[in-house]
Structure 1
Amino acid sequence: MREEAECIQVFTPEMIDTMARIWTRASISLMDVRHQLIRPGQPLQNYRMPSSMLVYAYGGSANVQLNQTLFGMERFGVFHGGKGTTLSISSEGETLGSFMVLYKAEAPPFFRRDLQRLLEQMNPFVQLYGFSPSTPVWFMDVFQRMLDSWSRATAMNHFHTTSLFYQSMHEIYRDLERKEARFLQPDPVVSAKRYLDEHYMSPILFQDIADMFGISGGQLTRLFKKNEGKSLRAYLTLKRLEVARRHLLHTNATVKEIALGCGLNDELNLNRMFKRHYKTTPSEFRKIERARMQALDMDNDSHLSYNEKELDNLVKFQGDGDIEMNSNRGFRATAFLLGMALLLSACSGTGGASGGNGGNNQTPSAVNSSAVTEHEQASQESPASTKRFRHSFGEIEVPIQPERIAGFWMEDYLLALGTDSVVDSLSGLYDRHYLQSRMSSTTVVDPFNMNFEALMTTEPDLIILAFPHIAEGKYDSFSKIAPTYVLDDGEWRDWRSALRLVGELTGRQAQAEQFIKQYEEKVADGRVKLHAALGEETVAFIRIQDKNLTLYGNLTDYVGTVFYTELGLNPAGIVKKLVQSENPVSEFSMELIPDIDADHLFITVYESDDSKQKLKEIYDSPLWKELPAVKNGNIHEVDMGHWMTSGAIASDMKVDDVLNALLK
């Protein structure tokens, strides 16, 4: 289908009728439904849409950019772009929410010719537009329902999501048809700031910026000073000085080279402006600040603070056993239950001298224990032997320390706790022999084609399911076999919190804390060693899957967390350029290989003939052989399994991979 994107802010009745005809003739496939929070200071920047996308943003003032068109949003807005459109969202003060629906439109054979004729007039699947809808609450509800339905991952739920998506597009066109939508207009001040941020290294005429918005240079200057508190000239000067300061600290470029790279005419000009603002010359600043940074780095690397917040992530009980995060009340609740057990035991089983028994410590109930029914005995033992947890599927009562645990996609956490999992979930991300060497009683069961009889024969004391969709429609069957806990989506994404939760569920809190402590000690020691060995050398991570070449490096995904957050490694320039905060991977072609500017390059390869062929093609490429990492022998191939997942053992193995590769 033809894809020619243009920004549309006027829709005539004829255009809307044509777009509706195209939608009725096209075949729409949903690719994904997402939700993301955009916090102040953490914008979504230059995300390249992998398919056509409908976005609903809400929650406050924001700037939303589609390609070169910038929109100022006040409280909520609907935005649309086609495949390849660059999307940026930045908050003006509040945390924003954004729903994103990715879809693909194709022409079915029986409509191909008719649809092609309509597409020659316009293509609604690639149009760029942004507006404030007349019914924001309705849009909020329908996007939330789309997200909920899509996350359940069944054919019927995905079918329902598609129907909701059609409803949303119909409502958009109704708004446009009734002229009730308020189109969002570009903000000249924000656009001017963005232009200066991107072009500070070049000569700039402020009138050229004003011409972009059809206003005079004087009007743009007045608007800019009113909003920013400084003139365009002052903002540009501060931007250039900020960049010069960064280059002085982190590069070995000469003062003259930095001056030219910042858009200043010569070294003398930079010296004059730098001394006026920082009260010192660039050369003096570099000498003093580098010495100070070196001293601080030596101290900070040995006293890591990034893990301190994890002390607030302990799982706790709330009231009658509800699980709650960010405290250690769970330990107090467990201690209370154990205390109650000891108290009851003291009252019923060790009567002492009371009752005239003298040295005989047996009470009448103990002597006549054969008269106690099994039900009554279980009832008496219950407070001492179980504890209660509440989750999204209800409340369960769990043995204080279950011995046999069926964990689906939980083997990572159970291994970290030194626990035998009686069920391995066929996740396919770990080496099967490795797992079985660590687990003495492993039974392989597929949760999506569950043989509940096979599960029953393992006689588990507790079942833990990692995802709600595994339990969808099957929870009653699981719970009849053993108490079953289902982790919410948010509970397992941070492996430390998940490990502490599993530790609470299995009565192995001490093992959880010990594993985390040992891991963080390894990371802290590794940071110091890596900093000493590598300095400012950069890293990147490439995955080869079949014929696809992808670059990982989002600072918060399962690769970036280990590289950049945990071990403090320096991301390569291509990582910063290609990989955006919304999408942890960026596909790229062989032509982009020369842009891989990493000093160290990690590679993981899928086990397939196409993947191996692709790897050979890359290694044989003249472009590849010219890379700095290749010339210096800094190519590190690592195991696919644990690098493609997040978890306790997986994170530990990732750290070992990096340390072994970079410190050998």
Structure 2
Amino acid sequence: MREDAECIQVFTPEMIDTMARIWTRASISLMDVRHQLIRPGQPLQNYRMPSSMLVYAYGGSANVQLNQTLFGMERFGVFHGGKGTTLSISPEGETLGSFMVLYKAEAPPFFRRDLQRLLEQVNPFVQLYGLVPGNPVGLVNIYQQMLESWNQATAMNHLFAKNLFYQSIHEIYRDLERSEARFLQPDPALSAKRYLDKHYMRPIMFQELADLFSISSGQLTRLFKKREGKSLQEYAIQKRLEDARRHLKYTNATVKEIAIGCGFADEVNFFRMFKKHFRMTPIDYRKISTLSMQECIIDNGSQRIYNEIGLAGLVKSQRDGELTMFGQKRSKQMLLATAMSLMLLLSACASNMPANNGAASNTAPAQTQQGQSTPGIETKETESTSSQTRIVHTVKGEVEIPSNPRRIIADTYMGSLIALGIAPIGTPTKFLKNPFYPELLKSVEDIGEQKSISFEKVVELQPDVIITGDEKAYESYQKIAPTILIPYGELKTDQEEISYLGEVLGLEAEAAAWMTDYETRRSSMKKRVESAVGANATFSIIEDWGEKSVAVFGDNFGRGGQAVYRLLQLKPPAEREAEIMEQQMLQLSWETLADYVGDYIVLTSDRLTLQDLQADPIWSSLDAVKNDRVYIWSSIHGWYFDPLSTLAQAEELTNWLTSK
């Protein structure tokens, strides 16, 4: 476990003296000085340092991660790492400024035994640490002057920039010597959460995890519970159970195989935990999931379009000024009625007969007694109305939704819903800009930006079901209407996404038909591309981030990654494939780009053209650029990665590749 986290350096007076000796004797090359603004919505993620690097961040609070070690920064912070260190900076509210100084320490020649012996004691060029300087404003001035001198690109100015770099190192070491610097301690709770997210399927010794931060396991548990609302053990079990449910539902693995694969000690322990959390055994869950996924179309003749006008009050009633929806807590009698209706639903599936042929005659008495259900008029639940609902199992437990919802709001998964023939009544602004199916979005209302949803607009639209991928918005949504939470990343493939939503909304047949067509088109495109480029051609998915910085993406982050790597089943460069697919997003400088570029490049950029690349000394050295194997599209074109958009992107790239 220790290879995944590093402890903070403890600088003794002897160590500081040794480090100063090394700096005075080593040969240092200043490689670059940069300044970058890091915005809350655009964090710096998984940037791999191309050389030793000193980072000075200022202007607000942020979470800073060096490899697996997480720091909490308030206003100022100095961070250092060696070549290959992975850096992430996530602002918590305000935009941060950051100076980045890249330098290289030359290896000492064989005759410099004195320097070699010092480096064996401590190597200041690869140290990983974070601290708050004693004079943060003074350091800002030093780095600002350094940046200005470096950008003037003359020998004298570069000499002055190097002098300022040494001055900044002296300021930091002097603070350490005087104990004026305050070390930034890693956030044990956040680090532990990241570790559990990645390694929950392994045996975990919480004391070893606590030892990394020099605290007791009890203290780590208290910090974790304060942050996450549950203990380390509870969080690990939750992750294992969520993974186990996916395997039970979508694979044919045995219960024992799932138990061991998800990190449970044995099958008995898995049974006990699963039944405790879900009130059923794993076997029962698998049976129910299998039944619910079987094709069962009820009252096919009475289905109508989802955007139908006049059904705004289907699930809305007003009780003492409070909005009430399906999905609220029910009485025991109500739960019993729901259970009975679910049994009838399953019976109808088993008999393969329409279940609601008599729906009109059954509902007429209820309407006669209470009048038509309209907004602002309290309606009573009856056996007739409860039979028109169904239970959906979600990560938040069971949710009761209408059997045939007409007014759906979705803040994600838009492409999948449209693929199933559903036109949601509302979605965030971002999805309304999708360039691949604009005609299908004309009647969809805007509910605001994804990170600032207008809940007033959501209430105004009177949905009967909300589908969301935003766990933070879930509590607000579920007060408005029954809400199905599908956290981002829960569904790994287009097939899983379409299949699950088809099951939730009773559109299993539509989902199966769409996937059949999807697979036919995918297979055809794959054959055409292989014929054009060969079976061994490699592809890189890259986005231009400005200021001589780019990001390389894997198969689960948009920018064409899903289209290239999943649909067309093409490969990234073999020597970087494992790293790219594990990290999914790597920020790189232009200088290190060559190590990650394949035979073809799919580039997302709103400013660069092929001519720009051919004119640049770094880009023009790449074979893909030399041979005109670069496809450039805009950010609005590359961002979307729902099944419909991915299919359209794959077809566009197929046409490009086969026309060359």
Task: Sort the TM-score into its range (normalised by shorter chain).
Answer: 0.3 to 0.5
Question: TM (normalized to structure 1)?
Answer: 0.47
Larger Rg: 1
